[in-house]
């Protein structure tokens, strides 16, 4: 059965409702219930972890029996497992819903399979309606589900000859104002920003996302990795979000912890040592290299040891885009292969 215009309009509305929900451990999901005649009789969205899912939130607006023969239009495949709440697929079946239209499949091993369960109960199901729009909304969550950790962007700024700082350690500013403004916009799009204790002690960064002197509306949660203590008067303590500190060099443990907190995207901006550690561990899904037309020489390289002993072990990248930013150039790239699979044989 093809998706009709009424269902398409309902999906557009469900996507608007989904955006009202918070980003976090659970996806942002919206739902609209249509009567057999095509009228909107209920709406709902997921309000956060532990609250009813969007379908159940919408059904809660209806008296028993009202959803008999109705159509549920949902931005994500109704779940098929019991967590803090019961399976949405079962709730729809028990409510008497006759048809379900959804945008994206649920990638979860436990939570997926709702469509199959619905079809098994005789419910008509159509998938993929406005999937691209839905993916734009919860793409970070989907990636985090597939990886079991946040999507990680590793950023650095360098001179044309690959240096992150001059011989005396000074690095402000290698790149110009256009490049720095671009960095702040990308910080604002991330859930968290990560540096090492060395960067905190050397540069005392605020780790905020700014437009000039003004804070941008969304601020990434600051994360500091390393064993050296952060001074109590460090600028990171004045961040709008309380910083997270990890006294460890185990990046897998750090990213797993952040994933459990609902952080879907991580912006690594912690200097050569930390950037190199993430890359060596195969934990760089995207690289942002800001290249300035200056020469510095010396030993302060933008990257240090990343586990490459010979050319055949090189970390190959695919460049997605070259972006001119005033006199500077931004290279946006991703690993040409799964580096962790390549170097370790398995995830």
The model's pLDDT over 173-223, given as tens digits with 9 standing for 90+, comes to: 889 999 999 999 999 989 999 999 988 988 889 999 999 889 999 999 999
Q: What is the pLDDT of residue 117?
A: 93
Q: Which pLDDT value is given to residue 172?
A: 75
Residue 80 CA to residue 70 CA, distance in Å, equals 20
Lowest mean pLDDT among 10-24, 75-89, 309-323: 75-89
**Contact by Cβ (8 Å): 140, 264:** yes
Q: Where are the domains of the chain?
A: 5-138, 148-344
pLDDT recorded at residue 277: 94
Q: Does 55 participate in catalysis according to the annotation?
A: yes
Q: Which of the four pLDDT bands, split at 50, 70 and 90, describes residue 84?
A: low
- Per the prediction, the chain carries an average pLDDT of 89
- DSSP E strands: which ranges in the chain? 30-34, 40-45, 71-76, 99-104, 124-127, 151-159, 192-196, 210-211, 214-215, 221-225, 244-246, 265-268, 286-292, 317-325, 328-335
Q: What is the pLDDT of residue 224?
A: 95
Q: Is the peptide bond before 239 cis (omega within 30 degrees of 0)?
A: no
CB 210 within 8 Å of CB 216: yes
The average pLDDT across 71-86 equals 84
Percent of the chain with pLDDT over 90: 67
Amino acid 85: pLDDT: 65
Given this model, what pLDDT does residue 2 score? 86
Q: How confident is the model at residue 145 (pLDDT cuts 50, 70, 90)?
A: confident
Q: Does pLDDT of 341 surpass 50?
A: no
Q: What is the pLDDT of residue 111?
A: 62
Fold topology of 5-138: Cytidine Deaminase; domain 2 (3.40.140)
Residue entry with tokens 């451990």: 25
Does the pLDDT of residue 43 top 90, yes or no? Answer: yes
Right CATH for 148-344 from 3.30.450.20, 3.10.129.10, 3.40.190.290, 3.40.430.10? 3.40.430.10
- Neighbouring CB atoms inside 10 A of 122's CB total 8
- What does the pLDDT read at residue 121? 95
- Strand 30-34 and strand 71-76: the pairing is antiparallel
Question: Considering only CA atoms, which of 105, 102, 56, 64 is closest in space to residue 83?
Answer: 56
**Helix 5-18 × helix 131-147 angle, to 10°:** 50
189 neighbors 265 (Cβ within 8 angstroms): yes
Which among 7, 55, 77, 129 is annotated as catalytic? 55
- In this predicted structure, which of 65-74, 142-151, 330-339 has the lowest mean pLDDT? 330-339
Q: pLDDT band at residue 65, thresholds of 50, 70 and 90?
A: very high
pLDDT-derived band of residue 110, with 50, 70 and 90 as boundaries?
Answer: low
């Amino acid at each position: 059965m093809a998706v009709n215009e009424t269902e398409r309009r309902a999906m557009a509305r469900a996507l608007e409702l989904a955006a009202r929900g918070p980003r976090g451990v659970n996806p942002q999901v919206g739902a609209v219930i249509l009567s057999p005649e095509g009228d909107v009789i209920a709406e709902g969205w997921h309000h956060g972890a532990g609250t009813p899912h969007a379908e159940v939130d919408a059904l809660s607006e209806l008296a028993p029996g009202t959803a008999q023969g109705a159509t549920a239009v949902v931005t994500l495949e109704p779940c098929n497992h019991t967590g803090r709440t019961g399976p949405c697929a079962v709730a729809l079946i028990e409510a008497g819903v006759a048809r379900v239209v959804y945008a994206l499949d649920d990638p979860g091993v436990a939570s997926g399979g709702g469509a199959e369960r619905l079809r098994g109960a005789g419910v008509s199901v159509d998938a993929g309606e406005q999937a691209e729009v839905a993916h734009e909304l919860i793409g970070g969550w989907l990636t985090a589900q597939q990886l079991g950790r946040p999507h990680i962007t590793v950023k650095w700024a360098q001179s044309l000859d690959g240096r992150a700082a001059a011989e005396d350690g000074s690095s402000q500013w290698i790149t110009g104002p256009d490049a720095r403004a671009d960095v702040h916009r990308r910080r604002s799009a991330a859930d968290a920003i990560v540096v090492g204790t060395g960067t905190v002690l050397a540069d005392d960064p605020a780790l905020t996302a700014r437009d000039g002197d003004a804070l941008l509306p969304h601020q990434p949660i600051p994360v500091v990795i390393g064993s050296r203590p952060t001074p109590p008067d460090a600028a990171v303590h004045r961040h709008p979000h309380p910083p997270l500190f990890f006294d460890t060099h185990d990046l897998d443990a750090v990213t797993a912890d952040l994933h459990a907190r609902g952080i879907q995207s991580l912006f690594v901006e912690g200097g050569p040592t930390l950037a190199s550690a993430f890359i060596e561990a195969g934990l760089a899904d995207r690289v942002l290299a800001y290249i300035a037309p200056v020469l510095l020489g010396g030993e302060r390289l933008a990257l240090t040891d990343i586990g490459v002993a010979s050319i055949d072990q090189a970390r190959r990248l695919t460049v997605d885009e070259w972006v001119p930013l005033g006199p500077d150039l931004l290279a946006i790239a991703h690993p040409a292969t799964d580096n962790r699979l390549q170097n370790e044989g398995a995830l």
